[in-house]
């Protein structure tokens, strides 16, 4: 989350957000960028600080993320899913966070994302997990299952 909220360009370029389309307005893009930066990103930084990351440098926060991803990678190991051959809620939670990082456009039109580079280089089994979750439409089945259980 820190990567997404520390710089508006990371979010806007990395996910190719169309603020005019999202907000349904014809206001100038520069003004919408300013509003986005001072509302959405400010709230995001408050969440980062509330999570206990106040006082850490961006490099330290990035290293915390890499360490957590390494633990997830080691927990997954060579298995298809975290607890065997069938997906469960941990797989869904991991998918929801890792897929966000892997879907960042890091081409020259996008934004550089160090965690995406780390996952692709050192945690290839997590890339495989995301692919398996997408290919098998397991995500939709699990989300539907969770919603049914909450009713």
Count CB neighbours of 2 within 10 A: 21
Residue that has been written with the tokens 């989300």 in this structure: 143
Which two three-digit tokens encode residue 15? Answer: 């996910």
pLDDT tens figures, 60-102? 888 999 999 999 999 999 999 998 887 888 888 899 889 989 9
For residue 50, what is the DSSP state?
I
Q: Which helix (H) or strand (E) holds 94?
A: helix 89-102
* Alpha-carbon distances, residue 65 vs 97, 101, 118 (angstroms): 11, 11, 10
Tell me the CA distances in angstroms from 123 to 4, 33, 46, 118, 132, one per residue in order: 21, 34, 29, 7, 15
Q: Domains of the chain: which residue ranges?
A: 1-55, 56-151
pLDDT of residue 134: 82
Q: What is the assigned CATH class of domain 56-151?
A: mainly alpha
Predicted pLDDT of residue 138: 63
Give residue-wise pLDDT tens across range 118-133. 999 999 999 999 998 8
Residue 46 has pLDDT above 90, yes or no: no
Whole-angstrom Cα distance, residue 105 to residue 73? 22
Residue with tokens 């280089």: 121
- Looking at the predicted structure, is the pLDDT value of residue 31 above 80? yes
């Amino acid at each position: 989350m820190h990567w997404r909220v520390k710089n508006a360009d990371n979010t806007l370029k990395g996910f190719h957000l169309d603020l005019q389309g999202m907000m349904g307005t014809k206001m100038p893009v520069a003004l919408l960028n300013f509003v986005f930066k001072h509302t959405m990103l400010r709230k995001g930084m408050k969440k980062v600080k509330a999570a206990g990351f106040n006082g850490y440098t961006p490099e330290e926060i990035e290293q915390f993320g890499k360490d957590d991803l390494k633990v997830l990678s080691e927990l997954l190991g060579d298995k298809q899913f975290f607890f065997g051959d069938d997906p469960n809620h941990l797989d869904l939670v991991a998918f929801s966070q890792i897929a966000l990082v892997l879907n960042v456009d890091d081409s020259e039109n996008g934004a550089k994302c160090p965690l995406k580079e780390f996952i692709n280089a050192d945690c290839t089994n997590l890339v495989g997990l995301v692919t398996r979750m997408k290919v098998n439409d397991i995500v939709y089945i699990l989300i539907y299952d969770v919603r049914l259980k909450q009713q």
